[in-house]
Amino acid sequence: MMQVLAIFIPIIAAILLPFLFKQVRAIHTGWFVLLVPLILLGYYLTFVKQTINGQSVVATMEWIPSLDISFTSYLDGLSILFSILITGIGSLVVLYSIFYLDQTKEQLHNFYIYLLMFMTAMLGVVQSDHVITLYLFWELTSISSFLLIGYWFNRDKSRFGALKSMMITVAGGLMMLGGFVLLSLMGGTFSIRELIVQAPSIVTHDYFVLALVLILLGAFTKSAQFPFYIWLPDAMEAPTPVSAYLHSATMVKAGIYLVARFTPIFALSEVWVWLVAGIGLLTLLWGSLFASKQTDLKGILAFSTVSQLGLIMSLLGVAAMAFHVEDAAGTIFKYAGFAAIFHLINHATFKGSLFMIAGIVDHETGTRDIRKLGGLMSLMPVSFTVALIGSFSMAGLPPFNGFLSKEMFLTGMLSVKEFDLFNFETFGVLFPILAWIASVFTFVYSFYFVFKTFTGKLQAEKLPKKPHEAPIGMLVSPVILASLVVVVFFIPNIVGDLFVKPAVAAIQPFLYDSPDEVDIAVQAWHGFKPEFWMTVGIVAAGLLLFALLPKWQKIYRVIPEWLSLNRLYDFIMNTVLDTAMERFSSLYMTESIRKYLTYMFAAIVSIVIGTLFFKDAFSLSFENVSPIALYDVTLLIVLVIGTLTTLFAKSRITAIIGLGAVGYTVALFFVIFNAPDLALTQLVIETISVALFLMAFYHLPKLGRVEERMRFQVGRALIAFGVGAMVTLLALSAHSQKLVESISGYYKETVYSLAGGGNIVNVILVDYRGFDTLFEITVLAIAGMGIYAMIKLRLSRKEKSNENK
Amino acid sequence: MEIVMAFVCGFLFMAAIYLILSRSLLRIIIGTGLLSHGAHLLILTMGGLGGESPPVLGEGVTDYADPLPQALILTAIVISFGVTAFFLVLAYRAYQELGTDDTTKMKGSEEDD
């Protein structure tokens, strides 16, 4: 119970926060917020001693028991790793934000409420064992991310970025929900653990691939994979602590988490291996190519995040290959899974620190434009050191943790060519090549980021502020992260034992029974193997390209014009969804009541006649038909002539009189069909109606009195004919197929004995079915009152006369 | 007779729909009048036109016309009358306020949107 409640601690704290912000103005609100992730970090660290033995801890809180929906917190190696990342980096980010955001100028309570909301959401995503609550928290991350990106909501770009990220991640989230529903239908359970157990039987199901693709769409949109990465660079409008926390260390890894969590279910599929590894590699390459084009510090980091996420994703794809080979624990395929998790930790440390440095540079110089920056090394020595450590780690240089994971990444990619299933024997050779090219460009943009900012000539006149070193408090978090970068390099196996191995055992449960069986030791030096020579090549090519950067950077100006996916997004949002949809709706929403009536009648006619035709329902029988008398024929002729007169009348008065003639003929029909009450009523009412029509006619304004014959229109005539034909066909077939006897026999027998009346129609109206009559009286009363009100109440005219006064 | 009446009802419906699709308000209301006549006749026809005498108890009569459709039509006549009267006054008020009886000109103003 406590374990589930721990997820909700941040959001509960968020509720209390506005009171603190309003009451305690002297102390920065962030200091109170800092307690929350710190406490949670301590709490989650206590679970580590259980997870390193491969144990998992489950706690459940019922939510909707009748639908089998509950909040289930499931802590195994993978989720404890993410929980510690979230709370640990969360603490550092909150600390950093205390010095980054001004208590007096900013709406801090909003900021921290969104941030705490996000923390709950993220903890929920990584701990949920129930797919529906996982989806719930997933959407909460989208919403809180939307709020945080749009934190400075009076800026256009913030709103645009927030909307874009919302549209893309929510679209993916909905796909993912579809995948979850399919998956739980196939497995008969909502629990991920139980689904993993059932994986071998789910694989053969018809919906398996569909569910797989839908869930991957959710993961790819969230983790900014190709082609959905476009929201991430625009999300850089958020305050820098948010970019550091959400858009480098945590939220964008939710998709990674999802892929890792569902690997035991989907890894048996060829589609999964290809999609995850292929899209990951493509994203890695694409992001690294475009990062050195950026001129905004955070833009470089955004594209580098995209690229690094692609790297982790491709490793997870390769890790799925281990499910397809015999005795995988003894082969080199095992490295990919380990490398993915290890790099995930390393990326969170160095990318977090780099974002914080970008924020510091922005804070102290007033700009993030790399063209205006330079020569800050001597002015900001601490920031420079941290940036250097982070960038070198990102580039994959020793003695930083990025080097270790880069080596393992290369090992993982080299293992692909050993894999002889799913056409990998032909295309597999591309993997190490593309990975190598991407690594070269990673090297280039890492150097570009740090050296263009901190070395070179100081352009003091271009900077809005006079640059100086940041305050100590702001530097604490990046320094902690940077020292982690170095520490992990020297003690990689402690990190491996504590966090990586339990997570790997959770991703590949069929290979390892416990984390101890993951027999991988990270080595800083592994001999003159292919990986070593590849790294040497990366450094050499990277240095060369970096030296020549000003010469070839111009190429970027040509390429992106026609390769930009942002164009496509804008096209879809503005042209397809906005303009084209509006045109489409104005095509049929013409504001003409005749058009709408035409649509309605055409639809009714086609549905009814279509049903008659396709169901073979039409029939015609001459049984039970009463004979035709001479009166009938005479009346029919009068009726038809009256109707035709109404139709083709040149003046309206002829039409009204024609209608009157039809009404009186109908009354005469009632006479010959033995319906005296009807005939009486019809005569009276027709008289009043005609009088009313004449009144309306008399009051016509002069303008409309131009009497012209109705113009004949073919479409209109066709619709009218269709309705007429439909009614006739319906009447004929209904009359020809009577299925049950009328109930009128009962009325005829009991009208005197039970109701004491002789006129059966009247007795039905007031006795058997008196309620009809009651409400028919009500209808008349309402009509009368409505008419009275319409004539008497003339508000608009009164208002007008008041205005004139 | 029922077969013939089916065609008559169809004819009335056709004329009614043709009028309802016209531009003038008055013709539309005339169309609804024809439509209700058609509907009433249709109900009566579908109940069967047999029966020798009106549904009023009398000496020695056994073959009455079906009373139930008649009761239904009586209700329908009154309701359609109420609605028609309301429509007519509505049209009359529309003439007075808008100065036109052409539905294609009744499109509302930009301010109403």
Distance of residue B4 Cα from the nearest chain A Cα, in angstroms: 9
Count up the domains in chain B and report the number: 1
Element (H, E) at A481: helix A472-490
Contact A217, A176 (CB under 8 A): yes
Burial class (CB in 10 A: 0-12, 13-18, 19+), A69: middle
**Given this model, what pLDDT does residue A284 score?**
93
Residue B54 lies in a domain: no
> What residues of chain A lie within 8 A of the CB of B9, using their CB?
727-728, 731
The answer to whether A682 faces chain B, any CB pair under 8 Å, is yes
* Residues paired with A57 in a beta bridge: A75
Distance from CA of A714 to the nearest CA of B (A): 10
- Tell how many helices (H) and how many strands (E) occur in chain B: 3, 0
Name every chain A residue with its beta carbon within 8 A of the beta carbon of B73: 675, 678
Of A628, A643, A720, the CB nearest to B1: A628
d(CA A127, CA A60): 11
* Cross-chain residue pair A704–B40, CB shorter than 8 Å: no
> Which A residues in the span 36-75 are in contact with B, Cβ-Cβ below 8 Å?
none
Encode A185-203: b = buried (16+ Cβ within 10 Å), e = exposed: ebbebbbbbebbbebeebb
CA angle A97–A499–A517, rounded 5-degree value: 170
Contacts with A, B 25-84, CB within 8 Å: 26-27, 29-30, 33-34, 37-38, 40-42, 44-58, 64-68, 70-71, 73-75, 77-79, 81-84
Q: How far apart are CA A546 and CA A395, in angstroms?
A: 12
Could you report the average pLDDT of every consecutive run of 10 residues in chain A (805 residues)?
88 89 83 92 91 87 90 91 93 92 84 93 93 94 94 92 93 95 91 87 87 94 90 90 88 92 89 90 91 87 93 90 72 81 92 92 86 84 91 89 88 79 72 90 91 83 77 90 90 86 85 75 69 87 87 72 73 82 86 87 94 85 80 91 88 87 94 91 93 80 49 83 93 84 86 88 92 93 92 69 54
DSSP string, A452-464: HHHSS---GGG-S
Answer whether A666 sits within 8 Å of B27, measured CB to CB.
no
Instruction: Give residue A331's identity as a one-letter amino acid code.
Output: T
Contact A727 B7 (CB under 8 A): no
CA A142 → CA A69, A226, A255, A589, A729, distances in Å? 21, 19, 12, 35, 57
Q: What pLDDT, on the 0 to 100 scale, is given for residue A571?
A: 80
Q: What is the per-residue pLDDT for A182?
A: 93
Has residue B13 been placed in a domain?
A: yes
Q: Best interface-test mutation with B: which of A674, A729, A732 has the largest number of B CBs within 10 A?
A: A674
Spell out which residues of chain A touch residue B2, defining contact as CB-CB under 8 Å. Answer: 624-626, 735
B67 vs A760: CB contact, 8 Å cut-off? yes
Query: Would you call B65 and A747 a contact, using CB atoms and an 8 Å cutoff?
Result: no
Could you give the CA distance from residue A629 to residue A221 in angstroms, rounded to a whole number?
78
Output the six-digit token pair for A356.
């914080």
Alpha-carbon distance of A212 to A199, in angstroms, equals: 12
Q: Is residue B106 part of a domain?
A: no
Nearest chain A alpha carbon to B53? A674
Radius of gyration of chain B (CA): 19
Q: How far apart are CA A73 and CA A127, in angstroms?
A: 5
- Does residue B107 form part of some domain? no
Residue of A332, A224, A212, A348 whose CA lies nearest to A269: A212
Contacts of residue B86 in chain A, CB cutoff 8 Å? Answer: 783, 786-787
Q: Quick check: A706 contacting B, CB < 8 Å?
A: no
For the record, the structure tokens of A592 come out as 């003409």
Judge: A693–B30 Cβ closer than 8 Å, yes or no.
Answer: yes
Find out whether A22 and A92 touch, Cβ atoms under 8 Å.
Answer: no
Cα–Cα–Cα angle for A527, A531, A535, rounded to 5 degrees: 105
Compare all CA atoms of chain B with the CA of A778 and give the residue at the minimum distance: B79
> Which chain A positions have a beta carbon within 8 Å of B58's beta carbon?
758
CA dist., res. A217 & res. A250, Å (int): 18
Contact criterion met (CB < 8 Å) for A666 and B85: no
Q: Closest residue of A to B104, CA-based?
A: A592
Please indicate, yes or no, if residue B33 is contained in any of the structural domains.
yes
Could you tell me if residue B80 is inside a domain?
Answer: yes
Q: In this structure, what token pair is assigned to residue A88? A: 């640990």
Q: Quick one: how far is CA B83 from the chain centroid? A: 10
Q: Which residues contact B6 (CB under 8 A, 6 or more apart)?
A: A727, A728, A731, A732, A735, B45
Name which of B4, B25, B78 to mutate to probe chain A: the one with the most chain A Cβ atoms within 10 A of its Cβ. B78
Q: What is the pLDDT of residues B93-108, one digit of tens each?
A: 888 777 777 777 777 6
Q: In terms of C-beta density within 10 A (0-12 exposed, 13-18 middle, 19 or more buried), how is residue A755 classed? A: middle
The predicted pLDDT at position A707 comes to 47
Structure-model confidence comparison of residues A506 and B50, the more confident one: A506
Q: How far is A769 from chain B (nearest CA, A)?
A: 9
Alpha-carbon distance A711 to nearest alpha carbon in chain B (angstroms): 9
Kindly list the residues from chain B whose CB atom is less than 8 angstroms away from the CB atom of residue A720. 14-15, 17-18, 21
Burial of A653 (0-12, 13-18, 19+ CB in 10 A): middle
**How far apart are the CA of B79 and the nearest CA of chain A, in angstroms?**
6
Check: CB of residue A488 under 8 Å from CB of residue A325.
no
Chain B residues with beta carbon closer than 8 angstroms to that of A645: none
Alpha carbons A441 and A310: distance in angstroms, whole number: 14
The dihedral built from the CA positions of residue A282, A285, A288 and A293, taken in this order, carries a sign that is: negative
Can you tell me the distance from the alpha carbon of A160 to that of A156, in angstroms, rounded to the nearest whole number?
A: 6
Concatenating the DSSP letter of every residue in A632-653 gives: HHHHHHHHHHHHHHHHH-SSHH
ipTM of model: 0.94
CB atoms near residue A396 (< 10 Å): 25
Would you state the pLDDT for residue A758? 86
Look up tokens 């029974």; give the residue: A513
Query: Residue A233 corresponds to which amino acid?
Result: P
Please tell me the distance from the alpha carbon of residue A364 to that of residue A541, in angstroms, as a whole number: 34
- Asked if the Cβ–Cβ distance from A662 to B37 is below 8 Å, we say yes
In terms of Cβ atoms closer than 10 Å to its own Cβ (0-12, 13-18, 19+), residue A128 is buried
**Is B45 within the bounds of a domain?**
yes
Segments forming the whole domain that contains residue B87 = 2-49+66-98
The owner of tokens 């034909």 is A725
Does residue B58 lie within any of the structural domains?
no
Chain A residues with beta carbon closer than 8 angstroms to that of B103: 592-594
